[in-house]
């Protein structure tokens, strides 16, 4: 699964609502009416960090994602971007 360019700045789509859950989080996109989910808390931290981080790579680092796990997290962010949950932003 191709990931996103983690050296660019990303953010949640403004119409996405995030609800933390014990297993991670639920995401609902009010524009596409699609439900999605994050299956771990660290990914939730990454997604929340996106807004203030200059790059997705930085958002991962701030959430404590080990470098070896970056491809997995990049792929997860890629899936979110494909369903319009994430959008690229100008840093």
What residue ranges bind another protein (CB under 8 A)?
Answer: 15, 17, 19, 21-24, 26-28, 30-31, 33-40, 43, 69, 72-73, 75-77, 79-80, 82-83, 85
17: region left, alpha or beta (phi > 0 left; psi from -120 to 50 alpha): beta
Which of 45, 59, 43 lies closest to 10, judged by CA? 59
CB of 42 to another protein, least distance (A): 9
Cβ closest to another protein, residue 10 vs residue 90: 10
Beta 16-21 vs 24-29: how paired, if at all? antiparallel
CB of 49 to another protein, least distance (A): 15
């Amino acid at each position: 699964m191709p990931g996103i360019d983690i050296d660019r700045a990303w953010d949640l789509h403004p119409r996405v609502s995030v609800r933390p859950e014990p297993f991670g989080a639920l995401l609902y996109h009010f524009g596409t009416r699609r439900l999605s989910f994050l299956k771990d808390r660290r990914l939730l931290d990454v997604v929340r960090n996106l807004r203030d981080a200059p790059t997705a790579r930085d958002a991962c680092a701030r959430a404590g994602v080990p470098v070896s796990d970056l491809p997995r997290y990049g792929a997860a962010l890629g899936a979110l971007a494909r369903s319009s949950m994430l959008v690229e932003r100008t840093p």
